Every structure is written in structure tokens, then in C-alpha cells.
Structure 1
């Protein structure tokens, strides 16, 4: 992906704000959580900066939580065989967020890509134990002229957009 292709960059900050540079919009999102971060050094032509970024597992959960990416996009990213997922981190971060819908969404995403992520069934059982009895809707941020249709995905107790359902239903056990 070229730099000019990036339209939105989400940054966690102490204060929310929005900055537009060229065609890219930088959105600072207020965040209280400091877990799952990595400190890296970034060298510019003028100085060396210490950047704090989130690890892959935290980024995955944040994207599902803030709806900054569609579920289909997260699934496509996880089909990259170079990505290694630490399930203990996923479980730990999900517990810290205390949002029941995240168990459903993350379980669905990881289950759909389990042949690529090489996760075991025991890993999914850890997430399934935390599922609530409530049925959640996996709504996504986007402008729609007509109301989207949802289908029930019983394995993860979640209503997902119809187009996603037909993409993943034959690949997993409902």
C-alpha cells in the first residue's frame, strides 16, 4: 500500500482531536488503557523519536472495538501466514476491556481464519466460555442508503451482515 492510499490513521492520545495532512486524516482517539504497547525508536532526518505502538493482538481488538475496519478486512489481514497470534494476550486484553461483544467478534474473526493463524480448538474454547447469552449485532460504520440485512451466526452467538455470512458460512461450522 502506498502512503497516498492511506485515508485515515487512528492514533491513541490523551486528548481527542483531528488533523488533516494532504489526503490523510489523523484521528486522535482518547484512550485510558496502556496495556499491550511496545516502545520503538523511529529515526527522522532531524531527530530520534520514541513511539509507543500497540502490539498486533491489541490492534486487532481495537479495530473490532472501534469499528475502524470491517470484519471482512480484519479477516483478510489475518489470512497473511506471517502473522503469529498469541492467544494468551488476546484473552488477557479481552478481559481488561470488559466488553462482551468483543468475545463474539474476535472469536468469529479468529475462527474464520484458524487455518491461517494455526490456532487450536482449545484456544477457541477459552473465548467461548466467556460468551454471554445475549445476541449481539456486528454493526459497522459506513454510510448506507438501505438498512443492512443480518443473519444469525450461532457458533459465536452474533448477528453478522449477510454478505459476510455467505463468505464464511461454508468455511466454518455454524
Structure 2
């Protein structure tokens, strides 16, 4: 697919958070003079901001990080500085105890829509409970995510119908 085919088709999407392993990894194509990566394609398609990991991250960590990110993003209304929010989440996971991470993963597992996700999140949480040092202290964990694009988004107040606040580019 060519960039022109998708250009602007996602212009109503303010933020895309990619949590699969190395979603932001760049690939060089010797036939082109540019790097090819998914965040760039999403920006061309009209997404305001893309947040993605540069290297492979574990599924359980991705779920934990993304849950913390969205919790903070939807905590208030107004203009959100996404780079500052990513730094805040990184600081939180860096200092997080094993027990706290396992507890949060257990809560995420309880909300899983399928049994395979439930089992994987519970198993990852149980794995984290072994050991004493903060599990995510090394930059390998907390420095994976990059912010591409505008970096700011307008979050509207929560709606009376009980749905989450909406983000606007």
C-alpha cells in the first residue's frame, strides 16, 4: 500500500498507542532514501500522536505500562502533554515493587476478554512475585516507549453516558 492511499484517513484519531514488541523499530529499504516504520505510516495516515516501543517488550509489561498510561491520560480534562505523561509512567514502573506490579496484573487479568490473555497476565504476575528488587528498574523496561507526532492532545471531560473521556487532536 502506498502512503497516498492512507494519507489523512485517520485524521480523527488523536492518539495511537502501540504496545506490541518493537512497533517503532525502523527498517531500511535500500530502494528508498527513507526509513519505514509503523509510527510514520500512522502519522501520514493522520494520527496526531503515536506512542510505540523501540524494541521487543514482554506482553505482560506492555499491558501494565499501557494500563498505567491510559489511567493517567483519562484522569483529567484539558491539554495533555504526552511526552510528560510517558515520562511519568516510566518513572512509576521504574519504582514499582514486584508485589504492586503483580497485583495490578492480577486486576488486569480479571478484566481480560479471553482465557488465554487471562492466563498469560496471571502467569506474568506470578513470575514477578519472585525476587526482591524492583523488577523494572533497568532502562530496558521503562525507556522503550517513544512519542511521535504532535505530542499534545486535548482531553474532554468525561461524558454523562459513563463512557471514557475523548481525545481530540
TM > 0.5 fold call: no
Larger strand proportion, structure 1 or 2?
1
Q: Please give the TM-score of this superposition, normalised by the length of structure 2.
A: 0.31
Tell me: higher relative CO, structure 1 or 2? Use CA pairs within 8 A at least 6 residues apart.
2
Q: Please give the TM-score of this superposition, normalised by the length of structure 1.
A: 0.31
